[in-house]
Amino acid sequence: MKIFFVGDYSNNTGPSIANKIIRRGLENNKNMLYSDAKNKIMRVLELIIKTMRADYVCLCSFSKSNIICIKIAKLFNKKVLYLMHGYSTYESKINNKAITKEKLKSINDFEKYIFKNVDRVFCVSMKFMEYMKKEEPEYADKFDYNFNGIDIEKIKSIVLTHNSNKKNNQIVSIGGGVRQKNNLMICEAIDKLNKEKKMNLKYIVIGQAGTDKEQICSYDFVTYYDKLTHEKVLYILSESYLYIQNSEFETFGLAIIEALICNCNLLISNNIGSMDIIETIENGDIIFNNKNNDEIAEKIEKLLIRANQSRLKKGLNIQQIHFKASAMSLVDKIYNS
């Protein structure tokens, strides 16, 4: 049976990278179709032709074109599934404090339209699925999960080409100045340690500017990169001692797994979906109040003394996130929907 995957396969956003990994995991399966058209007219024609050829349509991106996809799929009596990378209603509220109630309602109405009109919603982690069941109880029976995949061998091969020693005072975070990522709070914690404990910690922040970049860059221990190649990011991870993800909301968190494979120690908030696949995680590895710089500072200090990467790697459930296994798991769940 054929599945038509409709989504973004060209950009370097988190969802697009996840989509490309799924595609690579299924590259030898001739029953899979993908949206590749570039202009609007060709995209609509492609949607019609490939929907007719497919038995299932899987929406893999949050896009207004999903409405057209759903209508075409229903016209041809095809099952429609939604691979849900994020919850725009909540993320828009976090990242844009000035957003109006009307705009927020419009976003939520659009997401509810998708939930109502698809047969199944696959969240990218178990934690995210449980969250969505509580947030959208009307559609709770539609929510399932399928972990994002990761090409572990590829990451390991890149890291091996950059066999540098760890810089014991270097901390790194991905997510830039986006409010949802809470990297500004990490700056406050590091500043506290540098001033009170004379630790001379350095902090690398990677990602789009968001609302907090200017404040983050005001700290003299910060090095900020708006955009880097994936290979360069892995190089930085491989030489950094500690990776911190202090997100208020993170549906999966691919960078956490990449950091662990790059032998970083981890400090992560309690809102990270990929926690589900690290079986050896302990309270000392988790930020329970991601607005509390005292808690963050205390846990950074302890991790600088007592590393956790070896223990966490032992508990990493690689079988669930290997890119081929993850892609095949999604296909099986679509066929059984």
Burial 298-336 (b: 16+ CB within 10 A, else e): ebbbebbeebbbeebeeebeeebbbbbebbbbbbeebee
Instruction: Report the pLDDT value the prediction gives residue 230, as an integer from 0 to 100.
Output: 86
Q: Is 266 left (phi over 0), alpha (psi -120 to 50) or beta?
A: beta
Instruction: Report the pLDDT value the prediction gives residue 283, as an integer from 0 to 100.
Output: 97
Residue 11 clears pLDDT 80, i.e. is over it: no
Instruction: Report the pLDDT value the prediction gives residue 163, as an integer from 0 to 100.
Output: 66
Which of these, 214, 220, 217, 258, lies nearest to 240 by C-alpha position?
258
Q: Which residue has the tokens 């896009």?
A: 63
- In this prediction, residues 1-15 reach a mean pLDDT of 85
% of residues, the chain, pLDDT over 90: 84
> If DSSP codes are grouped into helix, strand and coil, which group holds residue 246?
coil
pLDDT digits (tens, 9 = 90+) for 146-185: 999 999 998 888 888 876 789 999 999 999 999 999 999 9
Q: How confident is the model at residue 245 (pLDDT cuts 50, 70, 90)?
A: very high
pLDDT digits (tens, 9 = 90+) for 93-141: 998 888 999 999 999 999 999 999 999 999 999 999 999 999 999 999 9
- pLDDT averaged over every residue in the chain: 94
> If DSSP codes are grouped into helix, strand and coil, which group holds residue 157?
helix
Give 263's DSSP letter: T
Interacting residues of 102 by C-beta distance below 8 A, sequence separation 6+? none
Domains and CATH numbers, the chain: 3-149+323-335 (3.40.50.2000), 152-319 (3.40.50.2000)
Cα–Cα distance list, 215 to 70, 183, 186 (Å) = 42, 10, 12
Interacting residues of 100 by C-beta distance below 8 A, sequence separation 6+? none
Structure tokens at 125: 């982690």
Q: Are 17 and 257 spatial neighbours (Cβ–Cβ below 8 Å)?
A: no
Instruction: Report the pLDDT value the prediction gives residue 251, as an integer from 0 to 100.
Output: 95
pLDDT digits (tens, 9 = 90+) for 220-242: 999 999 999 888 999 999 999 99
Q: How far apart are CA 185 and CA 124, in angstroms?
A: 26
pTM of the predicted model as reported, rounded to 2 decimal places: 0.91
What one-character-per-residue DSSP string does 180-201 give? GG-HHHHHHHHHHHHHHH----
pLDDT digits (tens, 9 = 90+) for 302-315: 999 999 999 999 99
Residue 197 clears pLDDT 90, i.e. is over it: yes
Q: How far apart are CA 175 and CA 170, in angstroms?
A: 17
- In this prediction, residues 289-300 reach a mean pLDDT of 97
Q: How far apart are CA 309 and CA 313, in angstroms?
A: 6
Which of these, 118, 37, 40, lies nearest to 81 by C-alpha position?
118
- In this prediction, residues 34-46 reach a mean pLDDT of 88
Instruction: Report the pLDDT value the prediction gives residue 13, as an integer from 0 to 100.
Output: 75
Q: Are 169 and 137 spatial neighbours (Cβ–Cβ below 8 Å)?
A: no
